[in-house]
Amino acid sequence: MPLLATEVVPVPFWQFNGHLQTIFPNINRKVEGICYERERICTWDEDFLDLDWSRVGSDSLVIISHGLAGSSNAPYVRGMIKIVNDNGMDGLAWNYRGCSGEPNKKLESFHGGKSDDLDWVIRYAADLDVYKAIYLVGISMGGNITLKLLGEWGREVPYPVKKAVAVSVPVDMYDASHNLVKGWNRIYSDRYLKQYIAMLQMKEEVHRDAMDFKYIYSSENLHVFVERFTAPSFGFRDAEEYLRTQSALNYLKNIRVPALLINADNDPFLTEKSFPEEEARSSEYFYLLKTKNGGHVGFADKNAGTYSWLEKRTIDFLKAS
């Protein structure tokens, strides 16, 4: 039932394809007026997570999970925080391990299905005994983590989580990983690969004997890096096992919290399997919105003022009764 009618994103006329709609909104946008209050919390495994709060004194909280190699300072995160605050809700943008500007303690940092860290952050916020309602927003990889966690919870939602929105999500990570290293998409995967290697180099001195770093750094593309480092560092047999088992697509049928997935028809990161229509048709809780235009985490609106089309659509879903 919750397969929504396609909506058209009114992008600027010169952003005439998915690549332009991806690149320009993410490199040109500046979001002013966000003043984070950083808090570091310890994890159960003797590591840490850095949380960036933007509070307005509300009893409702929106927790935002960023994308691959992003952070709380990504423009799309700051934009979401701004509209959340302007609508009277507190915002919390958490940084994955190693993404807050300081290396985390362990060799491994994060992966596309590492939902235990998000669960830990939600538990921490809920235990503050301040919030009657918690909402989740996951962007790109953060969307996969968010949807996977909701599916893992199933009927047993342990916190006051009321709704979720996931955006530009490769819910089938295996297909998306192979797609990301083809053709023009190498622009993105090469950038991510450089960021990953730079993060790992900052840890090499401490973990010198853990792995063959020279071999990892010679990875010719992002998928090979995942095969050589990400998968084994988290105990997966290989990249295929990691990508297939950690994809949110496996968990959508178990979601019992209203959750909206927004994916653009021209998102260069996504394949056909990232538009799970059957799962939406058979669910009372999982909503799928396929847009015409938008790119990957772009969704620039030629008519927009302060907020993007995506931010307005997200807040509409979260606030709807």
d(CA 68, CA 64): 13
Instruction: Check which CATH number belongs to the domain holding 70 and give it.
Output: 3.40.50.1820
**What confidence score (pLDDT) does residue 28 get?**
83
Residues 150 and 181 in one domain: no
Residues 38 and 50 sit within 8 Å (Cβ to Cβ): yes
How far is the C-alpha of 98 from the C-alpha of 93, rounded, in Å?
Answer: 14
Q: Which ranges of 156-270 does DSSP label H, i.e. alpha helix?
A: 173-179, 186-201, 213-217, 222-225, 231-233, 239-245
Asked if 247 and 113 touch (Cβ cutoff 8 Å), the reply is yes
Q: Model's pTM, two decimal places? A: 0.97
> What is the longest distance spanned by two Cα atoms in the chain?
54
Judgement on whether residues 267 and 305 belong to the same structural domain of the protein: yes
- Cα atoms in the Cβ-side hemisphere of radius 13 Å centred on 113: 24
Q: Considering only residues 297 and 2, tell me which one the structure prediction assigns the higher pLDDT.
A: 297
Q: Quick one: pLDDT band at residue 1, thresholds 50, 70, 90?
A: low
pLDDT more than 70, % of the chain: 99
Q: Is the pLDDT of residue 184 over 90?
A: yes
Whether residues 31 and 153 share a domain: the answer is yes
Asked whether residue 310 carries a pLDDT value surpassing 90, the answer given is: yes
Do 163 and 294 lie in one domain? The reply is yes
How confident is the model over 219-234, as a mean pLDDT?
97
Q: Percentage of the chain surpassing pLDDT 90? A: 94
Q: What mean pLDDT comes out for the span 55-82?
A: 97
Q: Give the structural domain span for 198.
A: 173-246
